[in-house]
Structure 1
Amino acid sequence: MKDTYILGIGVTPVGRYADRSFTDLVADAYGSAVKDAQLVDPDRIEGTWFANMLADFWGLRAMRGLGVLAPLVEDGLFPNGQRITNVESACASASAAFNGAWSAIQSGANLTLAIGVEKMNPTDRPATELLDWMNGGLPESYWEPYRRLAEQLGVTFGFGSDRSMAMDIYALLALSHMRDYGTTIEQIAASAAKNHTNAVHNPRAQYRFPMTTEEVLADRVVADPLTRAMAAPRGDGAGAVLVCSAEFLAEQPSSVRERALRVRGHSLAGGRINASWQDERSPALSAAQTYQMAGLTPRDLDLVELHDATSFAEIHLIEDLGLCERGQGGPFTAAGATQLGGEIPVNPSGGLVSRGHPIGATGILMLNELAVQLRGEAGETQVPNARIALAENGGGIVGLDAAVTATTILERAA
């Protein structure tokens, strides 16, 4: 593998930006990434990968990144004539964009860019329209595995315009894991409480208030057995990351080289509709490929940021990533192993349930949280002497599996 580095990265805080456009949010994130990289000549960028999932909902049906970035070109804020590739992989869209930028470096480019942006909070129409849009377009056969699983569990599976399809599926998966391994709702709540508390000190987080396990359990049930506090909120935000070769990095001043982050491993892996918990599903496959590429094992990691779209996801993903044995995610979490100061801190940023989940930007936001930690800039949630960190970002759901999973391991270069 050719040595590849994150040269600069920038994000917006996650929130609700009713008065800000996709272009506005991208301008902030891209400008921050350029500043972070101390990039004097953006014209040296050899390609841009633009990630987004919901632009069609907002009426931008075709051009996406081409349309979002065009005003910045006219204002002299983005390179003219840039090669732009649109990318969409559901919740893993930004990681797929990063994959494009990383792959180009592997193929001989010296400087590339990945951008992700999302707006998820319509103000001129009800939020139920967004849920309808997200729930639609799938063939009837897609739902059969969930109907079969619901029948086995003795529950009813269904969703409507007032419900999130993803939440109902995650609820089924949680019930399945509880049946197969004895995972408890209290263990899932412990994950949520940890992440809400971690986010208090994260200035980029959408939610910045602590919660106890008891408060998480007492919150409103949105998809039995999952409560609102166990679910990622709808957020708006953007991220941008500049990726470079070793040769390009060598040209930069020491102040840039010292902050660069080496990409030790990176992988995308697709999922299987009929996979079981015992199978090597997409997250486990992606992680295994990334560990092999990096020449590392889970024990080498100092911290992990993972895709807790619900707090149950954190329970099974720490199993998939090899942080604990299959079926032991609940007890591992309840014992405090994933807390700050624990065996392996997981989601010190607050994770998706508290830092936020602007779908098309999330993968880059996760890489930014790794960068903050590896550069020693995380403040109250700093993991001491952090040198190697992993991000796992899932996109879509097929059966018990993620439709695609991206895993990335970063290392402090200096």
Structure 2
Amino acid sequence: MRDAYVIGAGQTPFGTMPDESYRSLFSAALETAVDSVPYGLERDDIDEAVIGSLGVGGRQLGLSGPAATEHAGLHGIPSSRIENACAASGYSVRQAVQAVKSGMADVALAGGVEIMTDMSSDVTKYWLGVSGETEWERLTGTTFAGVYAQMASTYLDQYEATQEHLSMVAVKNHENGAKNPKAHLGFECSLDDAVGAPTVADPLNLYHCCPTSDGAAAVLIASEDVVDEYTDDPIRVAGVGAASERVGLFQRDDYTGIASSKKAGEQAYDEAGITPDDVDFAEIHDCFAIAELLAYEDLGFCERGEAHQLLEDGVTELDGELPVNASGGLKSKGHPIGATGAGQVAEAFKQLSGKAGDRQIDDPQYGLTHNVGGSGGAAVVHVLEREVAQ
């Protein structure tokens, strides 16, 4: 199979955008991605497109892939939509990589888009809830904040982490997001602010929860056969891993980890030929603060129950040994469901290309992205590599 490379990537600002549609947002994200390709790229060069979206609000549930790509000027190519809840566009990146590696496409587009802020909070909760287990969670009134609160309660009871450690995640990610001009909540917060925020679902408070956002992201993947036509500094997709888990939390034996994340990470490391120690930075799916702590452990960055120690030691700070969520993560950058996974890859592409501005990490070689659907029913991990000249 051929190697696949990221040659361009971009995203819109994430936030509240009442004047935009899913079509206009996706077109803007694609334009940004195309503009980031060093030697230029024509839309006719793109052989296939895969678009991630939950279709929040019921907008264009059928044929949303072609609806978005045709509007963006991609005519006649295979275009499809993938839905895997919050992991939708992480999986769209995976499918684009597969298309390129298999030889079905020389250049493939992966992207995602979501509009979430034009509905009442009750309607938004409904659309978020469709990604949970239907009979025994959503229809009995359980929200995702409630599901992750159960995970947080179990974890805090079993290990030495505290609610303050959850707040430390928020403080770190807001500090990073304040350096990201495309972040939805691009402001810093103090630890006192994050500790004293109103409770949402005990033990989670407002600062432990990501916002609902509008936005889109796009990633351009090229094969080794044509990559030199577009750049002399490509970012290799070194490893990809994906896995599923029981959708309902009540169906699982363990609430203190996400099995799909662990398996997806192991697959990605194995394909890339690296270990967690080789990762220079990570974009992690922190829909709730507890999710970031669990991911530290599921992805092998520390042993089970030791995630809080990484926070206390500053390991995951922007200037730490393993910066996590330099973009601000879902907590600060925002979480337009269908766009989140591709947005993570766009951030990793910027970091590995040395174009992340005030949040640039020093000389990274390997970056990891981790995208989760629901409470872990699906997960996908990508390892991207900046190839160093020998």
TM-score w.r.t. the length of structure 2 is 0.93
Q: Which residue of 2 aligns with 1:216?
A: 194
Q: Shift of the alpha carbon at 1:68? A: 2.8
Aligned sequence identity (%): 33
Q: Which residue of 1 aligns with 2:126?
A: 132
Structure 1 residue aligned with 2:160, among 176, 179, 182? Answer: 182
TM-score w.r.t. the length of structure 1 is 0.88
Q: Do structure 1's residue 386 and structure 2's residue 364 form an aligned pair?
A: yes
Structure 1 residue aligned with 2:180, among 175, 198, 202? Answer: 202
Structure 2: gaps (5+ residues): none
Aligned-partner SS, 2:36 = helix
The answer to whether the 8 A contact 1:105-1:244 is kept is yes
Structure 1 residue aligned with 2:232, among 257, 260, 270? Answer: 257
1:348-377 deviation per Cα after TM superposition (whole angstroms, max 9, x unaligned): 111110011110000011011111111112
Q: Which residue of 1 aligns with 2:315?
A: 337
Q: Which residue of 2 aligns with 1:11?
A: 11
1:18-50 deviation per Cα after TM superposition (whole angstroms, max 9, x unaligned): 111111101111111112124443222221101
Q: Which residue of 2 aligns with 1:147?
A: none
Aligned-partner SS, 2:61 = coil
- Larger mean Cα displacement after TM superposition, 176-185 or 350-359: 176-185
Q: Which residue of 1 aligns with 2:380?
A: 406
Note closer, same or farther for the CA distance 1:49–1:329 as it changes in structure 2 (3 Å cut): same
Superposed CA RMSD: 2.0
Aligned-partner SS, 2:367 = strand
Structure 2 residue aligned with 1:103, among 98, 101, 105? Answer: 98
Query: For residues 222-261 of structure 1, what are the structure 2 equivalents within 5 Å?
Result: 222-252=200-230, 256-258=231-233, 260-261=234-235
The answer to whether the 8 A contact 2:177-2:332 is kept is yes
Note closer, same or farther for the CA distance 1:247–1:277 as it changes in structure 2 (3 Å cut): same
The answer to whether the 8 A contact 1:10-1:239 is kept is yes
Q: Shift of the alpha carbon at 1:274? A: 1.7
The answer to whether the 8 A contact 1:54-1:120 is kept is no
Q: Distance in 1 between matches of 2:279 and 2:128?
A: 35
Q: Distance in 2 between matches of 1:355 and 1:207?
A: 6
Aligned-partner SS, 2:374 = strand
Q: Which residue of 1 aligns with 2:339?
A: 361
Largest Rg, 1 or 2? 1
Q: Distance in 2 between matches of 1:3 and 1:71?
A: 30
Query: For residues 84-163 of structure 1, what are the structure 2 equivalents within 5 Å?
Result: 84-108=79-103, 109-122=105-118, 125-136=119-130, 141-143=135-137, 159=141
Q: Shift of the alpha carbon at 1:235? A: 0.7
Q: Could you tell me which amino acid in structure 1 is paired with residue 326 of structure 2?
A: P
Q: Distance in 2 between matches of 1:316 and 1:189?
A: 14
Q: Shift of the alpha carbon at 1:275? A: 3.7
The answer to whether the 8 A contact 2:243-2:264 is kept is yes
Q: Distance in 1 between matches of 2:257 and 2:15?
A: 37
Q: Which residue of 2 aligns with 1:271?
A: 245
Note closer, same or farther for the CA distance 1:211–1:138 as it changes in structure 2 (3 Å cut): closer
Aligned positions, number = 382
Q: Distance in 2 between matches of 1:288 and 1:169?
A: 25
Query: For residues 290-329 of structure 1, what are the structure 2 equivalents within 5 Å?
Result: 290-329=268-307
Q: Shift of the alpha carbon at 1:158? A: 6.6
Q: Distance in 1 between matches of 2:310 and 2:149?
A: 20
Q: Which residue of 2 aligns with 1:60?
A: 60
Aligned-partner SS, 1:247 = coil
Q: Distance in 1 between matches of 2:304 and 2:194?
A: 25
